[in-house]
Structure 1
Amino acid sequence: MSPAAPSSGQQPPNPTGDEMPTRDELFEIGAKSLQTGALTGVMGAAFGAGSGIMRAAPPGLFALVAGIQWFALGSSFMASRSLLWHAWGGEEYLTSADKVKAGAAAGGVSGMIGGMARGPRNILPGILFFSTLAGGATYMSQKLQSTVPKEKKSIMASKWSPMRQISDQEYEKILVDKMLRIDAELAILSDNIAALKRQSSPSSSASPEAGGSKPASETGKAAPPSSDTQQPEKARPRWFSWGGGSS
């Protein structure tokens, strides 16, 4: 089996598959395989203990045997798949079909190891079963990863909705327009207030001391009679005279 050519145009670091993994790469593959084997071993031990309890058998022995078998299956699968990925150029250069092929091949290796632990007659069934299981699981995983979730449309995006969703730029423009309208109204109010103040101020009317006309309330009032004005003497009789003289 050979992987498909990478679609990005970049050449993989190991296009021929002849280059062996470096020491660091082997250490990374081994660590990842041991982690996977430990996880599957714990799951197998729990499954074996439950199976032993149901069969009225020693649960500890069943848990130990199942844990070892599941550890071998998990670690061998991860090691085989990682080595195939490296031989085919690396995970980033593999297509979905290449990953499915590598998963099926690694599952076949795990099935072979598990069959050898159970007996020679279980090797071929183990290869077929685990190869199909690993290939199918890898295919489903790739399909789920490639599925793009559909964008959820808001109810305001409908043409029947009385409201619509606006962008940040549109909302900012609306706020600027409102601020300009408020500034214009404030300027008009300031001009009106200044005009009213000018109309109500008494500076336009002249004061009486400056020679202006007297107020209408004082117009028409007669001046009080002066006390120094001499009243005319009453006419004396003609026959009356001072000092004996005849008038």
Structure 2
Amino acid sequence: MSPAAPSPRRQAPEPAGDDMPTRDELFEIGTKSLQTGALTGVMGAAFGAGSGIMRSAPPGLFALLAGIQWFALGSSFMASRSLLWHAWGGEENLTAADKVKAGAVAGGVSGTIGGIARGPRNILPGILFFSTLGGGATYVSQKFQSQEPKEKKSIMASKWSPMRQISDQEYEKILEDKMLRIDAELAILNDNIAALKGQSSPSGSASPETGGSTSTSESGKASELPSGTQSTTKARPRWLSWGGGILITP
């Protein structure tokens, strides 16, 4: 029997962040670093110009020097932090504590560059100051990002508001109550109208017996009148005009 072939050893997987960034990743890191450096450089130039005016010094020279220093600080901070994030596994795999550490280290790198630009005596103070600043700023930003956004409340939801926002079910309930109230008022009005009609019908109309007795009594009174009265009442003079004259006829 031939001896069994030795099984190949499995190599442990390399950490995800140990490999060097690709060309595209380096381009993206460089672009972000230059953008951050340009922003901080503009702010530094404005600060330098104001400082030069207050010291009665050439503001253009102060603005140029401050802009260059702030550009170096901003771009070096962003570049070193992005490289640390990539080396430690990427931003999505880092915890809040890892991001704070990366911010402190990147601040130390920026402080070193700023200290070299201002003189060897400023290197150590620059490292301490910018490390604290970078770590503290990262910690504060992580605190704000971890907070859940609060739900925006309407003005009507306040207890001091005279109005209140109601739901669709409450609105339907209010409409049903109003319709029931209107139906009840209509029923009461119909009952009142029927009662008024019942009260006015016997008083306004005369019964046949009353009407018959009235006509009989009137005819009896007319028959009891004397003949002369009747003729006088019935025969009245008539005025006729004929041929330009007036003729009176009985």
Same fold (TM over 0.5): yes
What does 1:141-156 align with in structure 2 at a 5 Å threshold? 141-146=141-146, 154-155=158-159
Partner of 1:221: 218
- Structure number with the higher helix fraction is 2
Partner of 1:160: none
Relative to structure 1, the CA distance from residue 154 to residue 56 in structure 2 (aligned partners, 3 Å threshold; closer, same or farther) is closer
Corresponding residue pairs, total: 205
Relative to structure 1, the CA distance from residue 193 to residue 136 in structure 2 (aligned partners, 3 Å threshold; closer, same or farther) is same
TM-score of the pair, normalised by structure 1: 0.63
CA distance, structure 2, for counterparts of residue 184 and residue 90 of structure 1: 73
Deviates more, 1:166-175 or 1:147-156: 147-156
User: What amino acid maps onto 2:209 in structure 1?
Assistant: S
Query: Do the aligned partners of 2:104 and 2:135 also contact (CA within 8 Å) in 1?
Result: yes
Partner of 2:76: 76
User: What amino acid maps onto 1:124 in structure 2?
Assistant: L
Shift of 1:88: 3.6
Larger relative contact order, structure 1 or 2 (CA cutoff 8 Å, min sep 6): 1
Q: Is 1:57 aligned with 2:57?
A: yes
Deviates more, 1:133-142 or 1:52-61: 52-61
Partner of 1:43: 43
Task: Give the SS at the match of 1:225.
Answer: helix
**RMSD value, Cα:** 4.0
Partner of 1:239: none
Query: Do the aligned partners of 2:17 and 2:90 also contact (CA within 8 Å) in 1?
Result: no
Task: Give the SS at the match of 1:213.
Answer: helix
Task: Give the SS at the match of 1:131.
Answer: helix
CA distance, structure 2, for counterparts of residue 95 and residue 173 of structure 1: 52
CA distance, structure 2, for counterparts of residue 165 and residue 83 of structure 1: 54
Shift of 1:74: 0.7
Work out the percentage of aligned pairs sharing the same amino acid.
78
Relative to structure 1, the CA distance from residue 83 to residue 206 in structure 2 (aligned partners, 3 Å threshold; closer, same or farther) is farther
User: What amino acid maps onto 1:225 in structure 2?
Assistant: S
Relative to structure 1, the CA distance from residue 226 to residue 52 in structure 2 (aligned partners, 3 Å threshold; closer, same or farther) is closer
CA distance, structure 2, for counterparts of residue 97 and residue 75 of structure 1: 23
Shift of 1:122: 3.0
User: What amino acid maps onto 1:177 in structure 2?
Assistant: D
1:155-211 Cα deviation digits (max 9, x unpaired): 469xxxxx9967424354233322322233224424543565577569xx799xxxx
1:206-238 Cα deviation digits (max 9, x unpaired): 99xxxx5352644643433399x9xxxxxxxxx
CA distance, structure 2, for counterparts of residue 90 and residue 61 of structure 1: 41
Task: Give the SS at the match of 1:221.
Answer: helix
CA distance, structure 1, for counterparts of residue 36 and residue 136 of structure 2: 19
Deviates more, 1:68-77 or 1:16-25: 16-25
Shift of 1:105: 1.4
Which runs of 5 or more residues in structure 1 are unaligned? 1-13, 158-162, 230-247
CA distance, structure 2, for counterparts of residue 147 and residue 78 of structure 1: 24
Deviates more, 1:100-109 or 1:134-143: 134-143
Partner of 1:66: 66
CA distance, structure 2, for counterparts of residue 164 and residue 58 of structure 1: 62
TM-score of the pair, normalised by structure 2: 0.63
CA distance, structure 2, for counterparts of residue 78 and residue 46 of structure 1: 21
Task: Give the SS at the match of 1:107.
Answer: helix
Relative to structure 1, the CA distance from residue 20 to residue 167 in structure 2 (aligned partners, 3 Å threshold; closer, same or farther) is farther
CA distance, structure 2, for counterparts of residue 93 and residue 183 of structure 1: 68
What does 1:127-206 align with in structure 2 at a 5 Å threshold? 127-146=127-146, 154-155=158-159, 167-168=166-167, 169-190=169-190, 192-193=192-193, 196-197=196-197
Relative to structure 1, the CA distance from residue 41 to residue 218 in structure 2 (aligned partners, 3 Å threshold; closer, same or farther) is same
Relative to structure 1, the CA distance from residue 197 to residue 112 in structure 2 (aligned partners, 3 Å threshold; closer, same or farther) is same
Partner of 1:241: none
